[in-house]
A and B are shown apart, each in its own frame.
Chain A
């Protein structure tokens, strides 16, 4: 069993509840103990820094200080949280005066931060610590023949806080393939979906989402998988907006990588929050049941 502090991020409790549920569900079967960081608050994400750069660092640092006390690596499944927390970590390392100011502020609630912490993305933990080989050995329900477009989004691989390549990453491909599924070539795998600007600049973001859907379909994908809560929401919940705007008819399920892993571990779809996916994942489930029937009748 490997132990980690766990930082779900705000969206894992709401717009990306499928991520929160599925990560919790796969942890134990993969021998991970994810201990939720007690008293965590929002990391601040991009908006806080955009309005008040310095204050955003103290907002993130509160979580870093809490996590540092546990002595464990802090793991988050949210790409934006991972970038924001790592960024605060580096800013505090680079600016000793800011570090002193931040500690003066943290002291009012008896916290302190010393810079001894690793903040890691769940995908990096799955690939580097748990390893695809071990995950493969735990697969109960191979996803053979399922064609998957692995969508990394931006902040899993950029700026480079993890270990993967920033433009042609492969970690997610390895996770998809260790489940027996096929990772289709996906040239836009690490290109932007528009992020939070889907709310304020919808036209810009819808154009980017369309390209991502188009490239996945063109390469024969039956579904997209991503680890990022914002990417999943943009590609899934806004797919109908893309269809409306561009007169297209995409109907492509978008799953969290943790949901796909859960299916291969033969966990119940509802425990993985698959009922919260907006484009119905029934095509993926049908494929899995078909494989299961074939295995049964072959045996």
Chain B
């Protein structure tokens, strides 16, 4: 069986994990590090130590804001932002249930909006997220939503995108191709 570090290195975004020298500039640069149980430097060490379940069940990478400051400062070209998203993808694909952050639920609402409409319908995406994941904060967020709506920034109906059929044909075929290889 593939080691965990091999599995990560084989996922787009995780290619450079072996180059890390544990200098910690990624963690020092990260605006969300204080929210993470395992900040970037630590999670890289954990991957290389083979701590598969601890890493993939963790909420840490889901706090990544994709600001790319870590990757631009990394002296070894590791790209921790891309690594974070590769880990999220591995965790999601392998069915890990993530506690301690609502970001996975938000991402799921976002992607289901793309699959349903071809483009993101922001109102539908937010509604789904707030109602399913967090009905209490839906009430709290109503004033922001209302302001956006009053300023013509939150169309209630999605735009009709004919190309969405093509998109789903492509992703369907891609699933088959991937599965067969």
Of A14-22, A27-35, A122-130, A248-256, the stretch lying at the interface with chain B is A14-22
- Are A101 and B65 closer than 8 Å at their CB atoms? no
Among A15, A91, A102, chain B packs the most CB atoms within 10 A around the CB of A15
Instruction: Label chain B's interface by main secondary structure.
Output: helix
Q: Residue A134 at the B interface, CB < 8 A?
A: no
| A143-167 Cβ-contact flags toward B at 8 Å (1 or 0) | 0000000000011001110000011
Which of B20-28, B45-53, B155-163 is found at the contact surface with chain A?
Answer: B155-163
> Would you call A47 and B31 a contact (CB within 8 A)?
no
Given known contacts A55-B174, A58-B171, A50 and B151 CB-to-CB distance under 8 angstroms: no
CB distance from B177 to the nearest CB of A (A): 5
* Residues on the B chain within 8 Å of A87, using CB: 82
> In the complex, which range does the number of interface residues on chain B fall in?
35 or more
Indicate whether B55 reaches chain A with its CB closer than 8 angstroms: no
Main secondary structure of the interface of A (DSSP, over half): helix
What is the CA–CA distance of A204 and B89 in the complex, to the nearest angstrom? 22
Q: Please, which residues of chain B bring their CB within 8 A of the CB of A50?
A: 62, 85, 88-89, 92, 104, 107
Q: Is the CB of A59 within 8 A of B167?
A: yes
B111 with A10: CB separation less than 8 A: no
Q: Which of B41-81 contact A (CB under 8 A)?
A: 62-63, 65-69, 71-72, 79, 81
Which B residues, 136 to 181, have Cβ-Cβ distances below 8 Å to chain A?
A: 137, 143-144, 147-148, 151-155, 159, 161-164, 166-167, 169-171, 173-175, 177-178, 181
Total A-B pairs, Cβ < 8 A: 211
When A50-B88, A98-B12 are in contact, do A55 and B175 touch as well, CB less than 8 Å?
yes
In the assembled complex, the Cα of A202 lies from the Cα of B163 at a distance in Å of: 33
A13–B159 CB distance below 8 A: yes
Does residue A44 face the partner (Cβ distance < 8 Å to B)? yes
Interface residues on A, range: 35 or more
Question: Whole-angstrom distance from the CB of A25 to the nearest CB of chain B?
Answer: 16
**Chain A to chain B contacts (Cβ below 8 Å), 21 pairs:** A15-B148, A15-B154, A42-B119, A45-B120, A48-B114, A50-B85, A53-B13, A54-B12, A91-B12, A98-B12, A102-B174, A105-B173, A106-B170, A108-B170, A167-B69, A192-B67, A196-B110, A197-B106, A199-B129, A200-B105, A237-B148
